[in-house]
Structure 1
Amino acid sequence: MNHRSQPSSLPPCGRALFVVLALLVPLTTACGDEDPPVNPGRVDTQVDAGGADASTSTPPDASCVGASCDGGSLPESPDAGGPDGGATTDGGTTDGGAATDGGATDGGPEKPLPLPVDLSAPPELLVRSDGSAVLRVGIARREGFTGPVTLAVRGLPSEVFVADRWVSEGMNAAALVVSVSERVGPGTRLDATLVATAEGRSTSRPLRLLVAGPSFSLDPTFPVVPLGWTDTARSLAVLPDGKLLTAYAISKDVWPGGAKGFVLERHHADGVPDLGFGTLGTATHLRPAVVQLLALKSLPTGGSLVAGTAADCHDNNSATPCTLLVSRHLATGMPDTSFGVAGVASAQFSANPCSGVKLLVDDAGRVSVVVAYLESAQGGADAYGVQRWEADGSPVAGFGTEGKMTFPLPASELRSDQLREALQRKDGTIVIAVSLFDGSGSNLHGLGFIQMNGATGAASWHVESGSSLHRNVVVDGRGRFVSLLSTYAPTYDVIVRWYDENGSRIHTSGGGSMPARLLAIGTADELFFDDAGTPYTVGRIEGGGGLAVVRFTQQGMVDPGFGTNGLVRLDSGLNDLSGITREPNGCLLARTWPEPGLVRMWP
């Protein structure tokens, strides 16, 4: 008898096994290596309309939209789900239509070489919910490739739309418009891939979208005190990749035996500790000669500079030399031993620095520290000093004496002074901005500039005087000094003035009547800028009502068209903001008080 022709004769357990196997066959097919059905979606290639960052020609064949004309259409990624028709990727790189699994399949074609194109774009793009933003992409062709490429953003949900852009031959930049639906809430982070394809080959780089809420509202995903701060004696710097670096002196109450030195901590942009930095996110540097930190500066390499002082800088005795230590650190947090002695260079000035310390670095890697101090040799006169080192930490020859140049203020300058800002010009000249305050009642305030020749250190001094008090001076993205002033009584309005890299006043055209005072006297001390270089400040609303942001016009006056009557009110839970820092994606970080920590605001 042929039992195989009569399944009913199987024993009960055999029948059960047969049924189970029958059910598992389609399940293994669905969950195995076969590709799920592809939803092709809609692919729109946006042709550049011209300009310095756009293509000026159209694809030669409309059927090539979103794909290489000779390499076939690009299959859509099953998880893209978006209207832009994502390309199949593996590890963030498209393959021009060929399936990839880390290498060539058995018996199949070899994986094509990457497209010889380098893409440059910000790692994170800020897009407002129910709005759009422009992603500017640089395209560098190499290895003899000169042809057109197609740019696309893959891996986004359907609530985010980015049209592909075809970039013609000879164009080295393009702009992609990213639009986000209102259904995507503020604080959402979306990981995607920027892809360039041509001739059946591709290259890619990661891209993160950060969805923003209304202007100057708080980022709900970035809580107050995300870094665990318990005091305000911390320095903050934002690294080029958007990570946050903090530095603080070791507390004698925490470390046994009265240890001295400082600690570096690095966090991701969302405040989470970066465990790949130092030891689980922290790098501790025990240095007996450092008891206080004066400055922290991030470097383009991802490393940092730290300036600290020794104990002899805290006795307020102008006869005691003051030693400043500047250390350079690698991106790992460890000392850069190619600088100075084991990563540290030192400078001596005659007494305790009177105000802020500035760190400068030029394109050749030369490091300069700028300080204000008391000059004991001239009866305790206010003076300004600069110590310059080569990239290896040796003093710059010819600049002053052993790389150090000092400049006591003229004896006729009796006003109180404060170091505000410093910049280094392309020719190496260092320009220092000094605010001057007349406390005698004559209200003769001013802004002085010290210029030190980059080769010799030879110094000069010039002053612009007036009745307006310079509350803060910063350098904007164009290498200009920008000053926030309070005008003389009875109005006490806040205005802005620009100065060039030499400290010469830049007179802006236009004018108009001064608006009524909006912020309480003395509460506006910060300046920050948007992408277009427009200045803003923050302070307390006149007559009470919490904190608010004020924007200025290009003529330096308060912009009455900003917000409501020139003001945008901030979250009522904020009592004080300081140290406003702009992140690479445009977000704003600010210290809070009395709760020590940070908040992030949308621009």
Structure 2
Amino acid sequence: MCHRSQPSKPPQVGRALFVALALLVPLATACGDETPPEKPGSSETQADAGGPDASTWMPPDASCVGARCDAEPITESPDAGATDAGPADGGAPDAGPADGGPEIPPPLTVDLSAPSELLVRSDGSAALRVGVKRREGFTGPITLALRGLPPEVFVADRHVSQDTSAAALVVSVSERVGPGTRLDATLVATADGRSTSRPLRLLVSGPSFSLDPTFPVVPLGWTDTSRSFAVQPDGKLLTAYAISKDSWPGGAKGFVLERHHADGVPDLAFGMLGTVTHQRPAVLRLLALKPLPTGGLLVAGTAADCHDSNNEPPCTVLVSRHLSTGALDPSFGDAGVVSAQFTANPRAPVKLLADEAGRVSLAVSYYVRTQADSDVYAVQRWEADGRPVAGFGTEGKVTFPLPASEQRSDHLSEALQQKDGTIVIAVTLFDGSSSNFHALGFIRMDGATGTTSWGVDGSYSLHRTVVADGHGRFVSLLSTGAPTYDVIVQWYDQNGSRIYGAGSSTMPARLLAVGSANELFFDDVGTPYTVGRVEGGGGLAVVRFTRQGTVDPGFGTQGLVRLDNRLSSLSGFTREPNGCLLARTWPEPGLIRMWP
């Protein structure tokens, strides 16, 4: 129980009475006799848009680090910067706070474009490239900075003049920050006392082509080699697989889509806890999976009539377009699905293409058993709403039988679509009985009419694989003939014309065992790499190529970077937006991530 005595008024001046009354207020509150005085609301603090460099450390009680302050942080839009919330009573936004405090300035009318994640090597540096777009008449200079980083990360602020629309911030990370560390920061643009911002995550990497120890290999556990895999533009991981491995009509119909965040955690915003099951269309076998810039995806699969391995009956290929949630896109075809019928079962792989207008193209090859047996290449195109593209061949479909002179073993390797809609398909041609019968052919289909043309590169080398390098070019991995059997690369433009590469090798012959290198992958500037077994049983290693197409002698040790000795097989190389490399492993658990 609280006891409170009432002091008598002393004969001193009024100031002493005031002091005594002030002392009684806490006592009265503790006893519950009186209502405590209402505490004034705290005024919000703007995000730090200037001041010292992000690497400068200050005590927590003296400053804010990023958005973490003792006071409640301001919620900011990732793209438009701090939002002027206006006064608490809903008055005019420019009326200032209700308590008469300083007026909160509106956000800076500048749009910032930058990657959402930046990869920086431990004890190294990386450039964060930022685009600046001024709006609403603002034309002045700005200051760019990164806020919210620990002292082990140094970033100098960057002044951007009024006539400049892009800049780069150099981010340096101390060796004390270990590989796999993720750091959240804020990119801030400041001018005239106003600011705008967007979030940024730093991912600290280890040595080149070492394994990311934080990537959860086991939870993904992809030992099913029939599973299709792709990376979305935002870095999320997509997989698709048929409900049943039975490709006969009696098997279960449909397919399953799964999506994970870049760290391997299921994306709970996708379907039901990261998984979507589609029992329509009646897909028995998946052929292709393609992410779209919108966050959606395309899936191609064969229907129940594609069960004959001899390819005698007609075959229907179903293409479905999905929203970012994994649900079918009802604005495409029949409730999200379109179909194309071919005279035989398409051979894997097939290629899905999509242009900026939303048109979808499917490129396939199949074998027709007739009196004049032939291999046929075909493209079916649809408008963004699923209607066949008018004027392109017949009802949006163009077929091209290979010339009689090219009837040998062939393979659809890659397809590119140009801005005018023209589609070019790379076809590898090879014959096991004669090394002089190897070649690379290109089928060109006019984007408006589908008119076809055929050309062959007669280098007579064995083209092990042909892929697109992300810059509108084809790149081929070749094996030369005896006695060296070197592995080299050759570039072709978007029309299939050779542009450079395939020079004379200056490296010792047989760095990799013959036949062990079968795939190419690229860095962000288009430099090609391959992985294979080191000659003489030395395990797996990475090889980098020069612009001349030969092994780069300055890469690693004598042209090789050896990989973790626990890896026995790698395939399906895919680059993530931040530059990391994903690859399938066998018989190890499914999927790994390597630093670039």
Q: Pairwise mapping of residues 274-293 of structure 1 onto structure 2 (< 5 A)?
A: 274-287=267-280, 289-293=282-286
Residue 371 of structure 1 pairs with residue 372 of structure 2: no
Distance 1:333 1:39 in 2: 39
**2:490–2:502 contact (8 Å) kept in structure 1:** no
1:441 CA drift (Å): 3.1
Amino acid across the alignment from 1:472 = T
Q: Pairwise mapping of residues 196-595 of structure 1 onto structure 2 (< 5 A)?
A: 196-251=189-244, 259-287=252-280, 289-376=282-369, 379-508=372-501, 511=504, 513-595=506-588
Amino acid across the alignment from 2:322 = H
**2:500–2:547 contact (8 Å) kept in structure 1:** no
**1:96–1:197 contact (8 Å) kept in structure 2:** no
- SS in structure 2 at match of 1:412: helix
Amino acid across the alignment from 1:261 = G
- SS in structure 1 at match of 2:136: coil
Deviations 1:340-361 (A, max 9, x none): 1100110011111123100111
- SS in structure 2 at match of 1:507: strand
Structure-1-length-normalised TM-score: 0.85
Distance 2:465 2:262 in 1: 27
Q: Structure 1: where are the runs of 5+ without partners?
A: 6-16, 22-31, 47-74
1:232 CA drift (Å): 1.5
Distance 1:584 1:391 in 2: 26
Residue 79 of structure 1 pairs with residue 79 of structure 2: no
1:511 CA drift (Å): 4.8
Q: Structure 2: where are the runs of 5+ without partners?
A: 9-25, 31-40, 56-60
- Candidates 16, 20, 43, aligned match of 2:52: 43
Name the structure 2 match of 1:14.
Answer: none
Amino acid across the alignment from 2:467 = V
Amino acid across the alignment from 2:465 = N
**1:129–1:211 contact (8 Å) kept in structure 2:** yes
**1:323–1:348 contact (8 Å) kept in structure 2:** yes
1:594 CA drift (Å): 0.7
- SS in structure 1 at match of 2:305: helix
Amino acid across the alignment from 1:436 = L
Deviations 1:339-395 (A, max 9, x none): 111001100111111231001111111100000101345644111000000111100
1:199 CA drift (Å): 1.8
**1:81–1:156 contact (8 Å) kept in structure 2:** no
Distance 1:473 1:264 in 2: 28
Deviations 1:492-548 (A, max 9, x none): 110000001110111359755353211111111111111221110001111112110
Instruction: Evaluate the alpha carbon distance shift between residue 509 and residue 290 of structure 1 in structure 2; reply closer, same or farther with a 3 A threshold.
Output: closer
- SS in structure 2 at match of 1:313: coil
- SS in structure 1 at match of 2:347: coil
**1:225–1:595 contact (8 Å) kept in structure 2:** no
Task: Indicate the larger mover: 182-191 or 111-120.
Answer: 111-120
Task: Indicate the larger mover: 487-496 or 109-118.
Answer: 109-118
Distance 2:541 2:593 in 1: 15
RMSD: 3.3
Amino acid across the alignment from 1:43 = P
**2:107–2:194 contact (8 Å) kept in structure 1:** yes
Instruction: Evaluate the alpha carbon distance shift between residue 39 and residue 278 of structure 1 in structure 2; reply closer, same or farther with a 3 A threshold.
Output: closer
Instruction: Evaluate the alpha carbon distance shift between residue 545 and residue 81 of structure 1 in structure 2; reply closer, same or farther with a 3 A threshold.
Output: farther
Distance 1:40 1:536 in 2: 42
Q: Pairwise mapping of residues 41-120 of structure 1 onto structure 2 (< 5 A)?
A: 43-44=52-53, 77-80=63-66, 90-92=74-76, 104=97, 106-120=99-113
Distance 1:300 1:96 in 2: 27
Amino acid across the alignment from 2:65 = D
Instruction: Evaluate the alpha carbon distance shift between residue 408 and residue 174 of structure 1 in structure 2; reply closer, same or farther with a 3 A threshold.
Output: same
Distance 1:509 1:539 in 2: 19
Distance 2:534 2:169 in 1: 39
Residue 157 of structure 1 pairs with residue 143 of structure 2: no
Instruction: Evaluate the alpha carbon distance shift between residue 210 and residue 499 of structure 1 in structure 2; reply closer, same or farther with a 3 A threshold.
Output: same
Name the structure 2 match of 1:137.
Answer: 130
Amino acid across the alignment from 1:428 = G
1:397 CA drift (Å): 0.6
Distance 1:117 1:298 in 2: 30
1:259 CA drift (Å): 3.3
Amino acid across the alignment from 2:75 = G
Distance 1:163 1:105 in 2: 37
1:191 CA drift (Å): 0.9
Task: Indicate the larger mover: 311-320 or 327-336.
Answer: 311-320
- SS in structure 2 at match of 1:517: coil
**1:259–1:288 contact (8 Å) kept in structure 2:** no
Distance 1:558 1:380 in 2: 40
Distance 1:600 1:447 in 2: 32
Instruction: Evaluate the alpha carbon distance shift between residue 81 and residue 184 of structure 1 in structure 2; reply closer, same or farther with a 3 A threshold.
Output: farther
Distance 2:244 2:130 in 1: 45
1:432 CA drift (Å): 0.3
Instruction: Evaluate the alpha carbon distance shift between residue 596 and residue 457 of structure 1 in structure 2; reply closer, same or farther with a 3 A threshold.
Output: farther
1:136 CA drift (Å): 0.3
- SS in structure 2 at match of 1:311: coil
Sequence identity of aligned pairs in percent? 73
Distance 1:327 1:98 in 2: 43
Instruction: Evaluate the alpha carbon distance shift between residue 480 and residue 124 of structure 1 in structure 2; reply closer, same or farther with a 3 A threshold.
Output: same
Instruction: Evaluate the alpha carbon distance shift between residue 409 and residue 113 of structure 1 in structure 2; reply closer, same or farther with a 3 A threshold.
Output: same
Deviations 1:227-252 (A, max 9, x none): 24241211111111111111111126
**1:154–1:193 contact (8 Å) kept in structure 2:** yes
- SS in structure 1 at match of 2:348: coil
Amino acid across the alignment from 2:166 = A
Deviations 1:208-227 (A, max 9, x none): 00000000000000032432
Instruction: Evaluate the alpha carbon distance shift between residue 77 and residue 338 of structure 1 in structure 2; reply closer, same or farther with a 3 A threshold.
Output: farther
Distance 1:408 1:162 in 2: 58
- SS in structure 1 at match of 2:269: coil
**2:44–2:72 contact (8 Å) kept in structure 1:** no
Instruction: Evaluate the alpha carbon distance shift between residue 313 and residue 98 of structure 1 in structure 2; reply closer, same or farther with a 3 A threshold.
Output: closer
1:406 CA drift (Å): 0.5
Distance 1:581 1:245 in 2: 12
Task: Indicate the larger mover: 372-381 or 198-207.
Answer: 372-381
Distance 2:129 2:479 in 1: 38
**1:306–1:327 contact (8 Å) kept in structure 2:** yes
Task: Indicate the larger mover: 115-124 or 435-444.
Answer: 435-444
- SS in structure 1 at match of 2:398: strand
Name the structure 1 match of 2:23.
Answer: none
Amino acid across the alignment from 1:365 = G
1:175 CA drift (Å): 0.4
